[in-house]
Amino acid sequence: MSALEDLLQAAMTAPDERKGAALRVLRGEAVAREGDPPAARTGPLLVGMGAAAKLLGVSRATLWRLLSAGRIPKVELFPGSFRVRREDLENLAAGKLGMSGHVSRRGRWRKEGAKG
C-alpha cells in the first residue's frame, strides 16, 4: 500500500475527534498535545504589565490592584521591573486561582456576598 492509501485508510477508520485533529495538522494549525504546559502553547511565559492588562481586558491600574491584593502573583526580574506569568492570567480569567471575591475601592479584600 502507498502512503496515500495508508493515510486514507487511517482517516476513514479514525474517530471524529481524531479526524478533526488530523485536519488541523494538515492545515498547519497549531495543535496542543495533552500534557503540554499551557504557556508553551500560547506564547511567552512572562508578560509585561501593559500586555497583561490587555489580555485581561482591564486597565493597568486595575491590574496593579489585583497584584496588590494578591489575586495574581508578580515576578520581579530585577528591582522595579515586574512581569506576570501568562498561565496565572489564564487561570484568573478561568476562575482557577481558588479565590473568590474582589477588592473594594478602599483596597480591602472582600468575600463574595459580603455587605458594605
**For the domain that residue 78 is a member of, what is the CATH number?**
1.10.1660
**Within a domain: residue 110?**
no
Rounded CA separation 89/53 (Å): 9
Residue span of the structural domain in which 11 resides: 1-31
Q: Is residue 70 helix, strand or coil? A: coil
Q: What is the pTM of this model?
A: 0.50
- 46-105 pLDDT, tens digit per residue, is 999 999 999 899 999 999 999 999 888 999 888 888 899 998 998 888 876 655 555 555
Q: Which three cell numbers stand for residue 106?
A: 478602599
Q: Do 22 and 52 fall into the same domain?
A: no
Rounded CA separation 38/52 (Å): 16
Domains contained in the chain, number = 2
Q: Do 65 and 79 fall into the same domain?
A: yes
Q: Do 54 and 90 fall into the same domain?
A: yes
Determine the Cα angle at 73 with ends 68 and 74, to 5°. 85
